[in-house]
Structure 1
Amino acid sequence: MSTETDEFDDRTLRQRIAENPRPALLWLAGLVFLLALELGSIAAAALRVGEVARFTLEGVAAAPSWLASVVADSLGPISSTLTFVVTAVVLLSMAGVLVKWLFVPFSIVDRLGIELGTGKEDVLERTIVTALVAVVVVALIVTPLGTLVDVVLSWLRQGVEAVSSLQTLTSRETIPNEGYQAADGSWEGTWLGLSPAIAWAIRVAVVYAYAFALLGWFWKGYNIFREQYREADWTPRDDSINRFRNHYWGIFGLVVVVAFVVMALWAPVLGPTPAEADLYQPYEHELEYYDEELEEVASTTYGEANLDTRSVGGDSNVGLMSYDQYDRFHPFGTNQDGKDLFTFLVHGAQVSLVIGLLATVLMAVVATALALMTAYYKGLLDLITVVASDSIMSLPRFLVVLLLSVLFMEAQHPIATIYDGGLLLALIFAVTGWPHLWRAVRGPSLQVAEQEWVDAARSYGQSPLATMQKHMSPYIAGYMLVYASMSLGGVIIGVAALSFLGFGVQPPTPEWGRAVYEGRPYVSTASWHTATIPGIMVVLIVTAFNALGDGIRDAIDPESDAEGGDAGASAGAAGGGG
């Protein structure tokens, strides 16, 4: 950092950057360059996020009408209309809270010059924001404004789609590995005429090099912020980072988790075969190979080729790091259906990550909100939450998850069809898992609620929401991060167990637990890899999340001894998360 620290205390971050912009601009230029290399992939990801957002908004918008139709069948039109109005008001109120939190950093009541009590001001603020949201919704529905917005979004989508077609550094087209070996021994269709194994290995190396370069650049950005723009020369976070650096068990967990996340994010690229052709629609895509009997290049569908490359023991086996008769390279061999096992596993990692993150985020949000509210208000709210959490925790969690999964799937509920049951599992794990996280952070929440700064905030008339957000949530954030990371590993192994039993993610969506189940009959044969490798992957990633949680816990605890990181290995490996 430059000159005297005291000069920085009264300046905003924008002012500090304006006085010394060179380091920030150089870092930003490097970030833009790295992101430009993957601009097509970023645009494609934005399209997927947009589709999810559109689906969510359409579902929320249809909720009042759906509930009203359900009530109308049993209670009549008056009850139906009342249900519609109540549901719409509740949804608008929730939208108002979200809009206020994300887009309205100032107080509308203060800007209007209205003076009321603190509690009444909060209610009036939320009422005004909700009314504004309602006006916007009505305008979009009954005026041409909605049509105009649709046109603009359509143009925007077309532009993003055009950008998403751009070739990127890590795309399959940049370093193709699919091809065939000609009669003279040369390879056709692969990158630079290399063998599929080498071309695939280079592409994997490029993907991980890019991912770690991007992470390293973000770390450099943090160091630039710390040295050039931070108000203080030292913060407690510095000691936490130093302790984590010396926690080798936590470092192991971090490396494996990062490798897992990269595998999930770049799954379409890392697989030696395209998933759409090999896993989802094998009879609608063709591959070329050199037919030695006909001495010419022939073609066949992936489905027909997979029938000849199944790993079912005996002579029918394509093992690790081997080619099949169609010159396709299989680093982990093939499964019992003849599909590439590595492609199956990397796309299964994507499924596990999506389900695990969604369930864990929902659990963490509910647990954090309840922990802060029960610690702040105590009394009846705390009692009700204790009873509810104890009731849920008293039931065997896995059996409850299994029961709910079977119930929704047998009823053919629409939610059970989304992501082939993945969304349903995420919601079930969230509903049954929040009490565990709430219990884990309840103690720290009660402790911080008794601190002097919280009492001072109350006495100065600060709203309860602002007090919980500014003065209480930062205190429990570290604890939540630790227990949430461990819970994520528990969700992953729980999903794998359900899929093993046939009640988890359904085909054709790949899932690790189902791979273990389907390969189980061949463990004692030459095709042992069909079940053993997916099983090792499940154990490794769950262990890694627990190790990462142990490392973060010891890093944020000032009383912890960083040299004792190895002692937590056995506990981390044994745990399965919340």
Structure 2
Amino acid sequence: MRAFFDSDLWWSFTRSPVTVISAVVAFICIAGAVFATWLAPHNPFDLASLQLMDAFKPPAWEAEGDGTYLLGTDDQGRDVLSAIMYGARVSLLVGFAAVAFSTILGVSLGLLAGYLGGTVDAVLMRIADIQLTFPGILVALLVDGIVRAALPRDMHENIALFVVIFAIGISNWPQFARTVRGSTMVERNKEYVQAARVIGRSPLSIMLSHVLPNVMSPVLVIATLSLGFAILAEATLSFLGVGVPPTQPSLGTLIRIGNDFLFSGEWWITIFPGVALIVMVLSVNLLGDWLRDALNPKLR
């Protein structure tokens, strides 16, 4: 632990006020989502506690606001602040799971393509090139639609969360694969890899024990930046009505619900979830930008 605090990475972190603020904001967002059960003022999805008479209450600082509901309530009387905290939990869960899936898939295929080369490299990279010609959200929509069409309708709600994670993850693997493939092609010709071949190490052992640790730095940067994309992609899918089920609403679902009342004066129902989404994604992206610069030896 002391070695980390004495490292250049920690020095770079503490010398960047924007990065420190972004880290604090991201920590608050993640902590609020993870501990929503204990931190949220209300449970917005407990039907027994909802009161329709409390619907459409404005934020507490408005003339007709109620101090019990700091950011107001929606059309069903749910506390908007609590709904944001519970919704952020779903958005972050999908984001982290989708990034983990795309990282594992992309790194594995990139290692194979870069180390083995030849036909394996050509086939995998052509698939990646074809997928990169389409926007990521379009690929996610296509995969989501195909999976839902292939499964029975009564299963859709139960597996909707897994379908969204798969759709977003599968749309983002080419970035990891191409980056790892390029780094692997450089590493496989170095002396330590040739020495491992001479002593009889298997290709799989060489890839996992020797090459993989040396190509992980750019992967960490891409994963951090991809988290923001995954959260936005999930919000977009949920806003379009093909994301997580209404029983597990995310920030995108809350924005879609509030959008129906935006022009009738209940602006807070959609504005506050939208602001929460922007703040969360912006803080994560700023951390990713800092990490990219901090791990770049040319900028040290």
Contact 2:141 2:167 (8 Å CA) reproduced: no
Match for residue 80 of structure 2 among 328, 337, 341: 341
Deviations 1:264-293, CA, capped at 9 Å, x for gaps: 2101111101x2xx31x41xx3xxxxxxxx
Cα drift, residue 523 of structure 1: 3.1
Question: Given the alignment of the two structures, is residue 308 of structure 1 paired with residue 47 of structure 2, yes or no?
Answer: no
Match for residue 495 of structure 1 among 223, 230, 234: 234
1:372-387 equivalences under 5 Å are 372-387=111-126
Query: The residue matched to 2:249 in structure 1 has which SS?
Result: coil
Contact 2:60 2:67 (8 Å CA) reproduced: no
1:284-295 equivalences under 5 Å are 285=48
1:265-304 equivalences under 5 Å are 265-273=34-42, 275=43, 278-279=44-45, 281-282=46-47, 285=48, 302-303=49-50
Deviations 1:514-541, CA, capped at 9 Å, x for gaps: 2112112433555211111111111111
- Can you give the 5+ residue segments of structure 2 that lack an aligned partner in the other structure? none
Match for residue 19 of structure 2 among 205, 227, 250: 250
Partner of 1:443: 182
Match for residue 264 of structure 1 among 33, 47, 61: 33
Cα drift, residue 247 of structure 1: 2.9
Q: How many residue pairs get matched?
A: 299
1:342 and 1:269 map into 2 onto residues whose CA distance is 13
Contact 1:250 1:551 (8 Å CA) reproduced: yes
Are the structure 2 counterparts of residues 336 and 489 from structure 1 closer, same or farther at C-alpha, using a change threshold of 3 Å? Answer: same
Question: Given the alignment of the two structures, is residue 319 of structure 1 paired with residue 59 of structure 2, yes or no?
Answer: yes
1:533 and 1:418 map into 2 onto residues whose CA distance is 28
Cα drift, residue 320 of structure 1: 3.7
Partner of 1:360: 99
Question: Given the alignment of the two structures, is residue 239 of structure 1 paired with residue 5 of structure 2, yes or no?
Answer: no
Contact 1:323 1:329 (8 Å CA) reproduced: no
- Can you give the 5+ residue segments of structure 1 that lack an aligned partner in the other structure? 1-221, 227-234, 286-301, 312-316, 562-578
Deviations 1:482-529, CA, capped at 9 Å, x for gaps: 101111110110111111111111212121112112112433555211
Are the structure 2 counterparts of residues 484 and 266 from structure 1 closer, same or farther at C-alpha, using a change threshold of 3 Å? Answer: same
1:11-90 equivalences under 5 Å are none
Cα drift, residue 369 of structure 1: 1.1
Are the structure 2 counterparts of residues 442 and 255 from structure 1 closer, same or farther at C-alpha, using a change threshold of 3 Å? Answer: farther
With CA pairs under 8 Å and 6+ residues apart, which has the higher RCO, 1 or 2? 2
Contact 1:351 1:511 (8 Å CA) reproduced: yes
Partner of 1:69: none
Partner of 2:285: 546
Query: The residue matched to 1:395 in structure 2 has which SS?
Result: coil
Cα drift, residue 318 of structure 1: 3.0
TM-score for the superposition, normalised by structure 2? 0.90
Contact 1:241 1:555 (8 Å CA) reproduced: no
TM-score for the superposition, normalised by structure 1? 0.49
1:375-524 equivalences under 5 Å are 375-409=114-148, 411-412=151-152, 416-418=156-158, 421-524=160-263
RMSD over aligned CA atoms reads 2.5
1:348 and 1:364 map into 2 onto residues whose CA distance is 24
2:35 and 2:61 map into 1 onto residues whose CA distance is 21
Contact 2:110 2:176 (8 Å CA) reproduced: no
1:534-573 equivalences under 5 Å are 534-560=273-299
Answer with 1 or 2: which has the greater Rg. 1
Contact 1:345 1:510 (8 Å CA) reproduced: no
Query: The residue matched to 2:171 in structure 1 has which SS?
Result: helix
Contact 1:352 1:511 (8 Å CA) reproduced: yes
Partner of 1:103: none
